[in-house]
Amino acid sequence: MTPIGRRDFLTQFALITAAVSASGYSFGSVRKSDAFVEVATTHGRIKGMRNEGVSVFKGIPYGGRVSGDRRFRRPAPLQPWTGVRDALQVGPPAIQNPRRNEPAPSEDCLFLNVWTPASDNRKRPVMFYSHGGGFVIGSGASASQDGANLARNFDVVVVETNHRLGLLGFLYLDELAGADYAGSGNMGMLDIATGLKWVHDNIAQFGGDPANVMIWGESGGGAKTSCLYAMPEAAPYFNKASIESGPGVRMTPKDVAAETTAMLLKELNIAPKDWRKLLDVPAADLLAMQGKLPFVPPFQEKNKNQGMMRRNYGGFGPVVDGEVLPHHPFDPTAPAISRNKPLLVGWNEDEYTFFAWERKDTEFAKLDFEGLQKKLEPQYGADAPKIVDTYRKANPAATAPALYVAISSITMMGLGSIDIAEKKVKQGGAPVYLYNFGYKSEKKIPGTDYAMGTPHAMDISFKFNNEIPPRDGSESKESFFGGNRPERFAASHHFAELWTTFARTGKPAANDVPQWPAYNLKTRPTMRIDAQCEVIDNRFGEELAMWRAVGKL
């Protein structure tokens, strides 16, 4: 089995949402212990649920219709309603394969969920989360990212949106379709910006502070956050950001997006001048066509000879169109528009083990050092011996499988995260804080004796403080990724407290955690998040010097 390169990251990603969500409860359930609570919004009153100190509002519409003649366009105006609208069930997710415990996917998917301690005008910090799943799957109702514990335990307001994904969210038609379709290659991102505006206009009614909003997200949600950080339309509505295991340094150039559109039209036997026929193609057929194309990863590698990796055409994600997304989020520099907005960025230490689990890759766990070099050669060519030699010298006690995981993990998510941190420091504006999540799960990758460690996506349940002992005193259940050791509860609390404090103040801090210095280019401090946290200066220094030498950073 060949290594997963950064360019191929999402080709094996489709199970993540179903897998992680399966460990939670249904977002559609109303329990006998729930009481109802009402809030007034700009478009009408809504009724949510109050349970165990948290009010939850599900399926709130924040934009109008995006189907029919609104396909590939900005939403129709949201129509006010009379009376009280139920906000008790999550709204439909964007077009994708069906999701467990959620309504059937729909083109009209502009709904959001809110968790708040109380609707009492307290002006709490607002944590606006963008879900993962690349740009093609996922929703704001995934159980691992349930916001109740963050709201309950840390006195914040949590908001999550559904928004257009895939072909329906990112098909670039600007050069064919005229002014009504301006920004078509970024409709999914514009949906999120519309959700941020809804927060600005309404969140005070939910006990949140519209002047203190943090955007954050993991994997594809990290890449979406990277784009929002560079988008003029989003800029007025947030104050700080966190990019987690999804460093969106670069997005799709518009010439590549135009080629993808041309290829799609050809596959559908539609002449460019007849592009309007796309409005009549059933969404299910568009989803089937989308499935034939490669996914766009939440990062794109820089090629030292060409400046931009030229991937195979195909796939749908945010487009650097010069208007909605004026330039690559962090290339060549950090975006000036967010110069004064503090930033968190980082990744999980063992990102690759998720993909080994998902792909049923047991062979990596059998590698010796000779096999390690051979496994790296298809991706790194003549640099493979230098990579192995550097990692062996820097980690003399590590096994060949452990080095393969380390190499794969840092190239997937780490190098881009460091690139973002360095560019933010060079900008000379608000601080940036670099982290590694390192709590080690003891769960084994099936078919091996190799532990999951800190796989991709394990951070979701930890940072949402959903790794906690049961409140009723019953025996805790094993976490889907996190295992069964009680130390995970401390790691989860640290992670959640650091993030909620950052949301509140712009500086991450937590009890029983060392002071977290802002990143700088001299000591390069990195916070390692675990049951016991530590600040490590110039972490991976030898390895990063090598990656710079071979042009990967």
Decide if 128 contacts 54 (C-beta within 8 A).
Answer: no
What sections of 234-280 are H helices per DSSP? 254-267
- Paired with 319 in beta bridges are 252
Mapping DSSP onto H, E and C, the string for 93-140 reads CCCCCCCCCCCCCCCCCCEEEEEECCCCCCCEEEEEEECCCCCCCCCC
CA dist., res. 256 & res. 516, Å (int): 40
What single DSSP character describes residue 412?
I
- With vertex at residue 476, the alpha carbon angle to CA 346 and CA 31, rounded to the nearest 5 degrees, is 95
- List C-alpha distances in Å: 226 to 194, 345, 466: 16, 10, 25
Closest by CA to 213, choosing from 504, 507, 508, is 504
As a whole number of angstroms, the distance between CA 69 and CA 154 comes to 43
Q: Which residues of 138-151 are buried (b: 16+ CB within 10 A; e: fewer)?
A: bbbbbbbbbbbbbb
Active-site residue (options: 131, 163, 456, 493): 456
Helix (H, G, I), strand (E, B) or coil at 209: strand
| Cis ω for the linkage preceding 332 (within 30 of 0) | yes
- Based on the residue annotation, tell me whether 351 is a catalytic residue of this protein: yes
- Nearest-angstrom CA–CA distance, 377 and 363: 16
Distance between CA atoms of residues 151 and 114, nearest Å: 10
Specify whether 492 is catalytic: no
C-alpha to C-alpha distance for 519 and 503, rounded to whole angstroms? 18
Please say whether the beta carbons of 378 and 7 come within 8 A.
no
Structure tokens at 293: 């194309």
Q: From the candidates 219, 226, 242, 441, which is the catalytic residue?
A: 219
124-130 vs 157-161, strand pairing mode:
parallel
Residue 207 zone, left/alpha/beta (φ > 0; ψ -120 to 50; rest): left
Q: Write the single-letter amino acid at 51.
A: N
Measuring CA to CA, which residue among 98, 214, 70, 223 is closest to residue 147? 214
Burial of 318 (0-12, 13-18, 19+ CB in 10 A): buried
Q: 534 forms bridges with which residues in the sheet?
A: 528
- Listing DSSP states for 324-336 in one string gives SS-S-TTSSS--G
The answer to whether 219 is a known catalytic residue is yes
The one catalytic residue in 351, 358, 467, 543 is 351
**How is residue 277 annotated by DSSP?**
G
End-to-end CA distance of the chain: 25
Record the tokens describing residue 278, joined without a space. Answer: 């796309």
**Type of residue at 30:** V
Q: What are the backbone dihedrals phi and psi of residue 465, each rounded to the nearest 5 degrees, phi first? A: 55, 35
* Residues catalogued as catalytic: 219, 351, 456
